[in-house]
Amino acid sequence: MANRRDLKKNVNYIAGELFQECLVQSMFIPGIDKTKLDELMSSVLVMQDEFISRINHTEPGNVKKFYKKFYIDFDQKVNEIIEAIEKLN
């Protein structure tokens, strides 16, 4: 298991890449729905805050179970955002 600092860096990196992809979509793809894209960009920021907060407040007790659920939830949320970006095209 990675330490919490590295995990926070990874969450920030992935959220930054998703946000950057939204910005690229808004600048270079004509005819894209700007309101949906803005909502998607805000959901990326909310996701980042949510998962950083979860890292900061690790549940005492069964830490392995907590981080296993964290990774599953994070992967699921990232995949949802990627699918939403793909649907905008």
Question: How far from chain centre, in Å, is Cα 83?
Answer: 12
Tally of CB atoms within 10 A around 85: 17
At 72-82, the pLDDT tens digits run 999 999 999 99
Q: What is the pTM of this model?
A: 0.88
Summary count for the chain: helices (H), strands (E):
3, 0
Number of domains within the chain: 1
Domain, as residue range, for 84: 4-88
- Alpha-carbon torsion (43, 77, 66, 17), positive or negative: negative
At 26-56, the pLDDT tens digits run 888 888 888 999 999 999 999 999 999 999 9
Q: Using 50, 70 and 90 to split pLDDT, how confident is the model at 3?
A: confident
Q: What is the pLDDT of residue 79?
A: 96
Tally of CB atoms within 10 A around 18: 23
